[in-house]
Structure 1
Amino acid sequence: MFIAQAYKAQNGFWRYLVGSLIIFIASGIGQIPLVVALFIKKGPELMQGMDESDLFTTLNKNLTFFLILISFVFALGGILFAVKFLHQQKFKDMVTTRPKFDWSRAWFAFGLVTVYTVVMTLAAYFYSPEDLLLTFDPVPFAILVVIAVLFVPIQTSVEEFVFRGYLMQGFGILAKNRWFPLVMTSLIFGGMHYFNPEIGAMGEIVMVFYFGTGFLLGIMTLMDEGMELALGFHAGNNLITALLVTADWTAFQTDSIFKDISDPKADLFDVLPVFIIYPIFLGILAYKYKWTGWKEKLFGPVEPPQEPSLEDHLAAD
């Protein structure tokens, strides 16, 4: 059982609080290069009252994108440190219950969301060409591809390691059940996106998308007893989106192929995919990987794994 893997480690909940602080501090240290670059470019007066969307107009888009993603490299170091030294846990045990990481699962989820994103973007371009401006520029785009391929998977993996791995196990050990960590990690994951510029541009209804995505990735992890699907899905979503579409009101403004110039205001129709497409994704994965025991895996108790009995040892011999 995925959450019960934490019973093999030092799992006092205070350790998860301290570990979260270590990861937060490591991420903050990783933001220093961006702060220094902004200070050199415009001086201290620009740092006052600057919002996230200003970053991409102050510095080169690719440079800004790179400097933002660097903080996740430092955060990854914080995660590795906390898991190894604070919890004395094998990193694999925080990621999956399988003997080793199943790359085929990660690639399948990556491909699933990639096909969906590409199809929907092309459909939007052909049906509403006035909303998407073709801005493809070979040289900046080539640089973007290198940065995105190298660092976006690190960014998405860090978020998954923290929410669907580290905190999922921590809250599960604390609550001794599975629904509480699913709810808590999904709400925290969604809440951390509240200050994204998309919320200010499109309205708070977009939070439905972030909360829904948190639940989708959490359900994937619990039903599949590992993070491979969530890691692949999140990486595919962010990477392909960064390469395909940008806008002046998004958290990541890139030298992508298209630029969304439509009115960013959202309504209920814009969040309907959470209730339609996400269940379809789960249905596809459930069919492919033969998921069973939904009630137990999503709402059942979390118990320490039983030690093998003498009879078990004799039977194995």
Structure 2
Amino acid sequence: MDPQQPGPSPQPGPYSQPGHQPPPPGPYLQPYAQPYSQPYGHTGAPYPYREPRVVPALPGTPYHRLARTPKHTWWRPILGTVLLTATAFIVMLSLAVAWLLVHEFVAGPFPAPKGADIFPSDTENLALSLVLLAVLTPLVGLAAWMVQRRPFWSVASVLNRIRWRWLLWCCVPALGYVVLSYLMGLLVDAVFPPQDAIGDEGGSWIGFGAFVVPALLILVLVPFQSAAEEFVFRGWVIQAIGAYGPDSVEGRASWLRRVFRSPWPGIVVGGAAFVSAHGYTGWAMADVFLFAVTVGWLTVRTGGLESGIALHATNNLVAFLLPLAMGHGSEWNQQGGAPWTLLVSDAICLGAYAFAVTWLARRREVNRFS
């Protein structure tokens, strides 16, 4: 064949006929994102979007509104409170029964309970009471996680965890509160008559042998008991009520909307619930309410429970250890009234603690928002 003449034209293939389409491009001609849109080897329809079960609060949310997540509905705080109360009752009752069975198995039968004391030993009664309260902390986190669909530790702080370094820093002004309370007590005793004084009932050192075991128990369990009460009354209550605050203050009754957007309804209700959980009367009730309101405000102001836990635990450690050392360890569960001087002196001490914590929070640049 003459190379200058064109050869025969190629025969038409099957895909050049009318009605035929070329094959789809191979996998190497697909965009780079295509092979990674589905798992390797998957040839079915793409997976549908699954909404996450647990959703944290939006960035910039203050502490008292951490429960108002995209999952929030009006019934979740109510159901969570009911669930928390029911599980607390069941767990505490089960734990008390198990404790009784173990005690009877190890130490044998014991006399019938007298009053609020179950066991003959004051130390064992105290240990049982502290443990029963300490179990509230995980139950609060469980209610937040199961019912409100938010992080388990979102009750602790705006960072959804306990800020341990900040908690240790708060122990410094808490110790200052204890020292100032003691000095104020001496001042009140010197100025006012004995019947109006704050001072204790006296006593004498019980000795190291009788002191060391219950003291170690107090040092171990009281921080957990104090933290549990903070998780309930300053954590759950404040956030449950804060979840009902409107997203905007615009509209009818704007002043009322501003009130419910603020943390104060939750702080007041939590303080009242805290007082009702104790057996104080008269001026002592007012002092406990002032304590609850102060640490509630600090909780919102610092974005977490750490300042309240530090003060609560430090105050309770002194309240348990000092009477124990002076021979009044059996009176650990006695609560009652107090003179008005206690409220006045404690107001000064709480004000000093609040000032120190807020100053320290500014210096440490502690997060107030999520």
**TM-score, normalised with respect to structure 2:** 0.62
Alignment match, 1:163: 233
Cα pair 1:5 1:97 within 8 Å, conserved: yes
**Structure-2 separation of matches of 1:228 and 1:104:** 9
Distance 1:207 1:102, change over 3 A: same
**Structure-1 separation of matches of 2:266 and 2:85:** 20
Q: Structure 1 residues 182-191 or 237-246, which shifts more?
A: 237-246
Which one-letter code corresponds to 2:241 in the other structure? F
Cα pair 2:177 2:349 within 8 Å, conserved: no
**Structure-2 separation of matches of 1:138 and 1:123:** 29
The 5 Å alignment of 1:170-249 reads: 170-176=240-246, 177-178=261-262, 179-193=264-278, 196=279, 199=280, 203-246=281-324, 247=328
Alignment match, 1:256: none
Distance 1:210 1:130, change over 3 A: closer
Alignment match, 1:282: 354
Encode CA deviations 1:13-39: one digit per residue, 9 max, x unaligned. Answer: 433333333333343332455567499
After superposition, the CA RMSD in angstroms is: 3.4
Cα pair 1:110 1:234 within 8 Å, conserved: no
Which one-letter code corresponds to 2:206 in the other structure? F
Distance 1:144 1:22, change over 3 A: farther
Task: Give ranges in structure 2 of 5+ residues lacking alignment.
Answer: 1-61, 191-198, 247-260
Among all aligned residue pairs of Structure 1 and Structure 2, give the percentage whose two residues are the same amino acid. Answer: 17
**Structure-1 separation of matches of 2:296 and 2:205:** 35
**Structure-2 separation of matches of 1:130 and 1:30:** 33
- Name the larger-Rg structure: 2
Distance 1:91 1:32, change over 3 A: closer
The 5 Å alignment of 1:48-87 reads: 50=115, 52=116, 55=117, 59-87=120-148
Distance 1:249 1:13, change over 3 A: farther
Which has the larger helix fraction?
Answer: 1
Alignment match, 1:106: 167
**Structure-2 separation of matches of 1:144 and 1:268:** 32
Cα pair 2:267 2:297 within 8 Å, conserved: yes
How many residues are matched?
A: 269
Which one-letter code corresponds to 1:235 in the other structure? A
Q: Structure 1 residues 149-158 or 23-32, which shifts more?
A: 23-32
Encode CA deviations 1:270-289: one digit per residue, 9 max, x unaligned. Answer: 21124322111111122222
Alignment match, 1:314: none
**Structure-2 separation of matches of 1:26 and 1:42:** 30
**Structure-1 separation of matches of 2:124 and 2:300:** 37
| Selected match of 1:22 from 58, 83, 90 | 83
Is 1:4 paired with 2:65? yes
The 5 Å alignment of 1:34-53 reads: 34=96, 37=100, 40-43=109-112, 46=113, 50=115, 52=116
Task: Give ranges in structure 1 of 5+ residues lacking alignment.
Answer: 254-263, 292-296, 306-317
Cα pair 1:220 1:230 within 8 Å, conserved: yes
Cα pair 2:154 2:160 within 8 Å, conserved: no
Alignment match, 2:152: 91
**Structure-1 separation of matches of 2:224 and 2:74:** 26
Which one-letter code corresponds to 1:42 in the other structure? P
Encode CA deviations 1:128-162: one digit per residue, 9 max, x unaligned. Answer: 99832123332342222332222211111111111
Displacement of 1:229 after TM fit? Answer: 1.0
Displacement of 1:163 after TM fit? Answer: 1.5
**Structure-2 separation of matches of 1:175 and 1:213:** 24
Displacement of 1:235 after TM fit? Answer: 1.4
Which one-letter code corresponds to 1:224 in the other structure? T
Encode CA deviations 1:77-111: one digit per residue, 9 max, x unaligned. Answer: 32232122122211332211237532232123323
Alignment match, 2:343: 271
Which one-letter code corresponds to 1:161 in the other structure? F
Cα pair 2:87 2:139 within 8 Å, conserved: yes
Is 1:153 paired with 2:223? yes
Distance 1:64 1:225, change over 3 A: same
**Structure-2 separation of matches of 1:222 and 1:186:** 14
**TM-score, normalised with respect to structure 1:** 0.72
Which one-letter code corresponds to 1:266 in the other structure? A
